[in-house]
A = this chain, B = another copy of it.
Amino acid sequence: MEDELITQLAAIVGPEAVLSKYEDLVTYECDGYVIQRGVPRAVVFPSTTEEVSAVVKCLSAQNVPFIPRGAGTGLSGGAIPLGGEVIISLVRMRKLLEVDFENRRAVVQPGFVNLKLSNAVAHRGYYYAPDPSSQRTCTIGGNVAENAGGAHCLKYGVTTNHVLGLELVLPDGEVVDIGGVPDVPGYDLVGILTGSEGTMGIVTKMTVRLLKKPEQVQTVLAQFDRVEDASRAVSDIIAAGIIPAALEMMDEIAIEGVEAGNYPVGYPKGLGAVLLIEVDGIAAGIEDQIRQIIDVCKRRNVREVKAASDEAERTRWWNNRKQAFGAMGTLSPDYLVQDGVIPRSRLPEVLERITAISRKYGLRIANVFHAGDGNLHPLILFDSRVPGETEKAVQAGSDVLQVCADVGGSITGEHGVGIEKREEMTYIFSREEIDLQLKVRDVFNPHNLCNPDKIFPSPSRCVEVRRASG
């Protein structure tokens, strides 16, 4: 039976485009979420929509579950097999199919890497706005699945604000076009598919919005002794009516991490918080905003504040910030990235409660956030070799999300629910509200074959979860 399926898949995509040996499959047992693993039954690499459709038809006819996968950079385990699913990797479908500068649109295949799109249109002064930290490797297909954000989504919105149309292979293999015209009439199916984490079908083509690069960009770096002052400066900047392109914050432990990483800025020891504030737009307006931002920081007891003196300095600051997750490896053998959202006004209170959680579990927690959006990324440092510490880190992460939900926030800003936060969905939704979402999934994916058992807590299902050995 196993061999028969592999033979059938190989007949569709070619034998070199199917992996089925254990040693090849282990590479695909997790994605950017490292707490849980699961070996897929096979990995298939289709090259065309027709091949995706044929593969899906073959699998669904035999009731074999499957998972679409991009670059595998997802942080909530959305691409991790839970029960020997077949992985449909979209990395061979990586063409830029069309660029329409006049109407500011591009059509790409799902395996096209995020940053490559901005690079491909830069010569005409355009770019693709969503910029997750993993943008050098993550794919736009994965971005659509997770409704990915990035440092600049404060001003420009997350992926859903930039997707105009999708070609979708439904879990029964049928190919449908969703959207792709401006202002699609009827229901917003593009919107519901974006962020559906691969549970409604496999996107094989997407039309996305291109933006004109702003005439000028300027960045301010503000160093604070106290994280409370930095939080208040964030609120003050927004209250002043400025919408920065990005408004990033790191706390003391995060600063310690990035300074030990590959791109140190030279922050003084013991600094309480750093804000990185970027404004962009028409050149004439920039200087005025920068002056206002610097004034706000000064009123909030900033220790040092300055605008980047040149592009090199600005790049240095951003490289330092963008390596934040990876740099935690210098502080701890393991770390878990959380992704909560809170109303901006509750920032100081939530930070205190995170500190209490850190104390309770005896684990250090570094905080890196898209502060303007209230999107927190607590990085929970742990050592998986110490028995019980992985479980403690997972529990601490869940406690942080409970705090976010308590103050009227959310359990995910941009990393998705995946397998990581399925139980935490109950912090936000009643059973009825979850059931309504499941019914919408059933319209697209009635047999739960496409990325099964992700996103939703499934009390009625007994899912075998293999924990990492550590």
Contacts and interface: CB of A to CB of B under 8 A. Distances in A.
Counting chain A residues whose Cβ lies within 8 A of the other chain, the interface size class is 35 or more
A356 interface: no
Contacts of A405: 181
Contacts of A464: none
A184 interface: yes
A436 B440 contact: no
A186 interface: yes
Interface string A183-211: 11111110110111000000000000000
A457 to B, nearest CB: 11
Contact of A241 (B125, B285, B286): B125
A196 B187 contact: yes
Contacts of A375: 183
A280 to B, nearest CB: 11
Interface in A150-195: 157, 160-161, 174, 176-178, 181-189, 191-192, 194-195
B103 A437 contact: no
A409 interface: yes
A410 interface: yes
Contact of A235 (B102, B125, B285, B343): B102
Interface in A347-383: 373-375
A411 interface: yes
Contacts of A184: 410, 428
Interface string A237-274: 01101100000000000000000000000000000000
In the assembly, how many copies of this chain are there? 2
A439 B185 CA distance: 16
A282 B421 CA distance: 41
A195 B405 CA distance: 28
A272 to B, nearest CB: 23
B436 A443 contact: yes
A413 interface: yes
A129 to B, nearest CB: 13
A183 B412 contact: yes
A432 B181 contact: no
A284 interface: yes
Interface stretch (A58-66, A78-86, A87-95, A212-220): A212-220
A183 B341 contact: yes
A429 B444 CA distance: 17
Contacts of A428: 181, 184-185
A341 B181 contact: yes
Nearest to A432: B176
A137 B284 CA distance: 38
A283 to B, nearest CB: 7
A192 B182 contact: no
Interface string A437-451: 101111110000000
